[in-house]
Amino acid sequence: MSDTVGDLLQEVTDALRAAGIENAHWEARYLLQDAIGLTPTDFVLGTGQRPAECDRVRDWVRRRVAGEPLSRIAGTRCFRGLDFQLSPGTLDPRDDSEVLVDACLSELPEQDTARIADIGTGTGCLLLSILAERPKVSGLGIDLSPDAAATARRNAAALGLSGRAYFAVGSWTAALPETGFDLILSNPPYIRRDVIPTLDVSVREYDPILALDGGDDGLDAYRALARDMRRILKPGGWLAVEIGWDQGESVQTLLMRAGFAQMRLIRDAGDRDRVVMVRNPALSG
C-alpha cells in the first residue's frame, strides 16, 4: 500500500473495481474513512499513512473483495439517518425497510403514548427509528438470538432511548410478558428455504440464517403471527409486516383468515409489494 492518501485511495479503488464492485471510488473513500479515520480534509491534503494503518486497510480490502458487505466490515449501518451497530446475530438493515417504519408512523400521532412491539428486532433499527420520531411511544423488541437482543440494547443506549426501549430473548409471543399493544411490527424471515443458496454471497454468507429462512414456502413466520397476534394486540390495534415482493396476496389471505380487518398492501419505491398492514377488529358494543 502507498504512503500518500491520494495513492492509497487510488489503489483501494482499483482493487475494488477489479473485483467488480460497483461505486468502487465511493466505497474506497468510505473504507479509508472508517478503517483509519481519514477525513475529507485528509483526502485533499494527502496526509501520509503509517504502515500499521495500511495493514488494516489491506485487511478490509481483502474482506470486501471476498464479498463481505462494507457495513459488516465497519460494524455499523446507517438506517434512517441513525447509526446502528451490527453483530453476527443481526440482519444488516435494508433501506426498503423504511417503508415499514413509515407505515407504522402513519398510525402513531406525534404525541401518542402508544406501546408497540417489534417481533424479530435484530439491531432494533425499526423499533428505535420509530421511538426516535415519536418521543412519547415506548416499545419492546423480541428476538430469538441473545446476540441480537444484546446488540439492540447497545443501540438503544447509544441513541439515548434505553428509557423507552426494552428487549427480550424468546420465540415470538412466548417472550411477550404482557398483552395490550397498540401496534406490533415485524420484518420476519420470509425467504423460501430453497432460494437461500442462490442469494448473493453478501447475504447468504453474512446475514444470519435465522433472519432469512422462512421455511419451505417462505410463510412460516406469517402463520405464527396470524395465529398469535390478535390476542396480543389491543382491539383496534395494528399489525404491520414486511413481506417479499411476491407474497402480498398470500400474507393478506393468512391474516384475513385469522380475523384481521382493514387490509393494506403498501409498495416500495420500486413499485414492489413491501408491507402488509392489518387491524385487529374493535370490540363490538
Confidence at residue 1, expressed as pLDDT on a 0 to 100 scale: 53
Confidence at residue 282, expressed as pLDDT on a 0 to 100 scale: 80
Whether 130 and 264 share a structural domain: yes
- Give helix 51-65 / helix 24-36 axis angle, nearest 10°: 140
Residue 284 lies in a domain: no
Asked whether the whole model's pTM tops 0.95, one would answer no
Residue 87 lies in a domain: yes
d(CA 87, CA 148): 7
Decide the pairing of beta strands 138-143 and 233-242. Answer: unpaired
Q: Which of 193, 200, 245 is nearest to 221 (CA)?
A: 193
| Residue appearing with cell numbers 428486532 | 121
| Residue appearing with cell numbers 428455504 | 193
Whether 61 and 86 share a structural domain: no
Which residue positions form the known binding site? Answer: 120-124, 143, 172, 187-190
Confidence at residue 43, expressed as pLDDT on a 0 to 100 scale: 74
Confidence at residue 4, expressed as pLDDT on a 0 to 100 scale: 75
Q: Say how many C-beta atoms besides its own lie within 10 A of residue 112's C-beta.
A: 15
> How many Å separate Cα 36 from the centre of its chain?
26
Whether 150 and 274 share a structural domain: yes
Whether 146 and 248 share a structural domain: yes
Whether 85 and 53 share a structural domain: no
Whether 62 and 84 share a structural domain: no
Counting runs of H as helices and runs of E as strands, what totals does the chain give? 11, 9
Q: Where are the beta strands (DSSP E) in the chain?
A: 76-79, 82-85, 115-119, 138-143, 165-169, 181-186, 233-242, 261-267, 273-279
Can you give the residue range of the structural domain that contains 118? Answer: 80-279
Q: Which three cell numbers stand for residue 108?
A: 402513531
Whether 176 and 118 share a structural domain: yes
| Residue appearing with cell numbers 433501506 | 95
Residues of the chain with pLDDT under 70: 1-3, 44-52, 177-178, 283-285
Which residue positions form the known binding site for substrate? Answer: 187-190
Total number of domains in the chain: 2
Whether 128 and 238 share a structural domain: yes
Confidence at residue 285, expressed as pLDDT on a 0 to 100 scale: 43
d(CA 197, CA 188): 19
Confidence at residue 9, expressed as pLDDT on a 0 to 100 scale: 86
Which residue positions form the known binding site for S-adenosyl-L-methionine? Answer: 120-124, 143, 172, 187
Whichever domain contains 106, its CATH number is 3.40.50.150
Residue 74 lies in a domain: no
Whole-Å CA distances, 270 to 25, 95, 186, 243? 26, 12, 21, 14
Whether 50 and 84 share a structural domain: no
